[in-house]
Amino acid sequence: MTPGTVIKEKIIAAYEAMAESYNALIDHKAHNAYYDRPNTLALIPEPEGKLILDAACGPGKYAEILMSSGATVTGFDISSRMVELAKERNKGKGDFFVHDLSQPFTKLADASFHIVVCALALHYVQDWTLTIKEFCRVLKPGGVLVISIEHPFFEFNYFRSKKYFEVEPVKCIWSGFGKPVEMNSYRRPLQQCIAPLTGNGFYVDQIIEPRPVEEFKKHDPKHFKELNAFPAFMCIRAIKRT
């Protein structure tokens, strides 16, 4: 097995182990509900009547919100348990299947979506090139890609990196979703968050360095203060060039 395969297997194992508690907590988990989602959703155009791909959908919380606003959602995730939970949460609405972001999206036709959303997942992919090309292929001309990622400056500090310009494997322990799990991912410089978009069919329309919404404070005052001083995530809207 290559080092990349070993890391991917560890990521899958971590999410399979965490899936139930992730699903149970996701509605009100502060970093998701009151930091990532409000800022990422703010970049998504009016969902009503739109065909939306939720790439790395997890337990289908974004899909639930988007379908409640009148969108038709297709979602995939590398964790089969997450996909089951997405189906359960959405009670037969939407189409969910197991798929890896770093493999061609063979089930999905060219120009079949108005919007692609990929929240908090691209840091599990070492090389974004194929993934971004696939996002571009499945979007209609002028279609919108909205992603949220860990902020590159936050990660550089958090992982005490000494190699800013490299894409490097990193790991830490996650304790916020029940039993602690080792979480592996890839840290990258800012340029490697933007160049794969602009080099593979998109222009960058908007970037948000998010602030937590007020509700966050009630759930987690310490991180509310920290996130108002320095961002942990970054949300990007990119448009498919015509």
Ligand X SMILES: C[S@@+](CC[C@H](N)C(=O)[O-])C[C@H]1O[C@@H](n2cnc3c(N)ncnc32)[C@H](O)[C@@H]1O
Please report, as ranges, the residues that interact with ligand X according to CB under 6 A: 11, 15, 26, 32, 56-58, 61-62, 77-79, 82, 100-102, 119-121, 124-125
Q: 164 or 208: whose CB is closer to ligand X?
A: 208
Nearest residue to ligand X by CB is 58
For residue 22, the minimal CB distance to ligand X (Å) is 7
For residue 62, the minimal CB distance to ligand X (Å) is 6
Q: 51 or 53: whose CB is closer to ligand X?
A: 53
3-state secondary structure the chain: CCHHHHHHHHHHHHHHHHHHHHHHHCCCCHHHHHHHHHHHHCCCCCCCCCEEEEECCCCCHHHHHHHHCCCEEEEEECCHHHHHHHHHHHCCCCEEEECCCCCCCCCCCCCCEEEEEEECCHHHCCCCHHHHHHHHHHEEEEEEEEEEEECHHHHHHHCCCCCCCCCEEEEEEECCCCCCEEEEEEECCCHHHHHHHHCCCEEEEEEECCCCCCHHHHHCHHHHHHHHHCCCEEEEEEEECC
For residue 141, the minimal CB distance to ligand X (Å) is 25
For residue 222, the minimal CB distance to ligand X (Å) is 21
Q: 11 or 66: whose CB is closer to ligand X?
A: 11
Q: 78 or 239: whose CB is closer to ligand X?
A: 78
